[in-house]
Chain A
């Protein structure tokens, strides 16, 4: 096996390490504005992971919707909420024990389930993961879920506007 064949895995490992490191920093930061910047970094690194996994369209969607839409929404909300003084987040040792051991044990269980059982063998046929294949499948096999998702997004938009608007009472003017 030549050295060149390790290059995709090296790029994958680079972006994966970036994603994990910035994710850890994200939940570590006290200031939410710093957290949101690390979230943007994590999302872009995961987009790089998607590109190395030959998922070009999902990576582009990740950059456009997550980095361009959701992260900007987070920044706006932090500006609106105007956090002011940051309170220290402290807990007693007993709840802290649970809050760290539950995810840790879950990860151990997941890793045991995934790695102790053999996966089905990979397909031998040449992979066709291009955008034409993806779009045909999205708009034929998964057409009804696609339309339902558009309805869901519309409902979420209307609901968000209704919930977040200022209540106007009649005796205020």
Chain B
């Protein structure tokens, strides 16, 4: 039997690593990857709750999170490619203007 505390700890640690990646890195691509890590940490917690209370609702929510993650990755990459064509940069230090 897997204790729910272990599942929660794994989810929180994955979320924290993703948050550190989003905040501390300057490369746009790595920031998008760290966002996937945030969503995966949430998914681990949802699936663990589904197991603990014997109810598939948590798994359904995890599936919806995966759908949102895919949509986010597609739109994020499109925006990044579009910006890269304009500016030839991917570093957050050089992305400092609002007008395209």
Contacts and interface: CB of A to CB of B under 8 A. Distances in A.
B75 A20 contact: no
Interface of B: 1-10, 12-21, 23-27, 29-30, 32-34, 36-37, 40, 43-44, 47-48, 50-57, 59-60, 62-64, 66-75, 77-82, 84-85, 90-91
Given A5-B1, A129-B59, A157-B74, A164 B24 contact: no
Contact of B59 (A9, A111, A134): A134
Q: Is the interface of B mostly helix, strand, loop or mixed?
A: helix
B54 A46 contact: no
Given A35-B33, A102-B23, A122-B53, 16 more contacts: A9-B3, A23-B18, A26-B34, A29-B30, A39-B37, A53-B48, A73-B74, A74-B33, A89-B27, A102-B19, A103-B23, A107-B12, A114-B5, A119-B52, A134-B60, A153-B70
Contact of A89 (B25, B59, B64, B85): B25
A134 B7 CA distance: 21
Interface string A137-153: 11001100100010011
B35 to A, nearest CB: 11
Contacts of A66: 36, 40, 66, 69
A30 B16 CA distance: 19
Contact of A127 (B2, B8, B54): B54
Contact of A80 (B5, B48, B81): B81
Interface residues of A, number: 85
A99 interface: yes
A163 B25 contact: no
A16 B71 CA distance: 26
B71 A26 contact: no
Contacts of B47: 49-50, 53, 55, 58
